[in-house]
Amino acid sequence: MKLAPTLMLVVAAGAANALADQAAPAGVVQWKNPGAGVVLSPVADGAALAAAEGPVLVRLASTPDAAERAELHAAGLHLLAPLGDGFYFARIDGASFDAAVIVGRVLASGDVTPEMKLHPQLAGQEPAAWITLPAGTREGAGELLAINVMLHADRTPDLTSIDAVEAAGGIVRDTAPSVRTLVVEAPADAIGAIARLADVQWIEPALPPMGPMMLNDGNRARTRADIVQGPAYSLDGSGVDVMVFDVGLARPTHADFTGRVSTYQPGATASAHASHVAGSVAGAGVASEGKFAGMAPNALIHSWTFVGGSGGINLYDNPGNTEIAYTEAISLSPVVISNNSIGSNVSINGHDCAIMGDYAVTSALIDNIVLGDLGRPMIVFWAAGNERSSSRCLSSGMGQYYTAPPP
């Protein structure tokens, strides 16, 4: 199982890459990019740490609680992303640095290098086909790679960060502020320069484009939703507002939900899949004499369409578009729950199986949506995908279990 790029690494005592200075603590950082190493130095008097510029890697003697974090912050140590086993990214404020507070609590520190920030696919491996925009795809541009650039926890994707990434050779196509991410297209030879920017925490390849997920007839019975719709309970979704986020819009004139579908994106068109999904959620079953009624046949549907890629290119997933749609849905409608029957279908579409299990930027964005970072908490349903019995991405020994694709 692979861990989050918001964490970007796991920390394991006894890992193969030992610390250069044996006087430093015994913890070892095992980066997601196997080409990244780390050299930690003991913090003796704090002088070197106080002079550090840009983010640094530190290892603390213990995990600080909220009050201790506030004390360290006041003493000039601004903790950023936690990395496990006492390791953190941190930023130093030399003007308020108080060695009496810091020394003893910080056991060791080291530089943050560009290699620590790179997903293996961007660190020498052949890039995946779905992130590769052939020369000429963008007017006047050579081959570009679609990447997500995540900033450190104390930075936001503002004009300063956009200008910095573009000065390094990237083209910023979108932003996802809740996960501090810029959606970027860049030549392969510019990725190193972007990784060298001090405010960049992590760079990963964009996910494959999301597409529709079909075939859920029978789920009402499987989940026993038909029982709670019956006379004993009479729960039919009345008074519940549901966001349906799909490829295209639900068709408002469909007999199964006439008068219960609202749309918000001028110019967007209805699609068969979005209408199918809206019917699964809240179709009344009028067109099928009740056979294909949805889970909540009297709920109100608020339909938004997913837009992949950027600038007419739908080669890769764009978390910025997802954040925009959800922000609009939360601010413009009373939705409290959403359905997302979209996904990357890695196995059946022939994508690189290595991304299975990645907790990537879009995964972190979904968590932020659930937690309420875009305005209020949301209950989110996401389809498990169309992989079903596909075994292309299975590891040996998995038996009867199959795969669910990102996000």
pLDDT tens for 183-241 read 999 999 999 999 999 999 999 999 888 776 555 667 777 888 888 988 889 999 999 99
What pLDDT score was predicted for residue 285?
A: 87
Pairing between β-strand 56-60 and β-strand 379-382 as defined by DSSP bridges: unpaired
On whether the pTM is more than 0.85, the answer is no
What pLDDT score was predicted for residue 4?
A: 34
In this structure, of 42-56, 66-80, 148-162, the range with the lowest mean pLDDT score is 42-56
Question: Quick one: which H or E segment has residue 30?
Answer: strand 29-31
What pLDDT score was predicted for residue 336?
A: 94
Give the Cβ contact number of residue 13 at 10 Å: 10
Distance from C-alpha of 8 to C-alpha of 148, rounded to nearest angstrom = 13
Q: What is the mean pLDDT of residues 45-73?
A: 92
pLDDT tens for 367-390 read 999 999 999 999 999 887 777 667
In this structure, of 55-59, 263-267, 354-358, 361-365, the range with the lowest mean pLDDT score is 354-358
Residue whose tokens read 């972190």: 364
Domains of the chain (ranges plus CATH)?
9-113 (no CATH), 117-205 (3.30.70), 211-382 (3.40.50.200)
Residue whose tokens read 């199986």: 353
Question: How many angstroms separate the Cα of 87 from the Cα of each of 28, 63, 119?
Answer: 10, 9, 19
pLDDT tens for 8-23 read 333 332 222 222 333 3
In this structure, of 165-169, 273-277, 301-305, 403-407, the range with the lowest mean pLDDT score is 403-407
What pLDDT score was predicted for residue 314?
A: 58
In this structure, of 2-16, 67-81, 93-107, 245-259, the range with the lowest mean pLDDT score is 2-16
Give the Cβ contact number of residue 278 at 10 Å: 30
DSSP string, 190-233: GHHHHHTSTTEEEEEEPPPPPEE----TTHHHHTTHHHHTSTTT
Closest CA to 304 of 352, 346, 271: 271
The residue among 359 and 138 whose pLDDT is bigger is 359
pLDDT tens for 338-355 read 999 888 878 877 888 888
Q: What is the mean pLDDT of the chain?
A: 84
The torsion region of residue 144 among left (phi > 0), alpha (psi -120 to 50) and beta comes to beta
Q: What ranges in 98-257 are assigned the alpha helix state H?
A: 99-102, 159-167, 191-195, 219-222, 225-228
Collapsed DSSP state (helix, strand, coil) of residue 116: helix
Q: What is the mean pLDDT of residues 31-56?
A: 84
Considering the chain, what percentage of its residues have pLDDT values greater than 90? 51
What pLDDT score was predicted for residue 17?
A: 24
What pLDDT score was predicted for residue 215?
A: 55
Residue 81 has pLDDT above 70, yes or no: yes
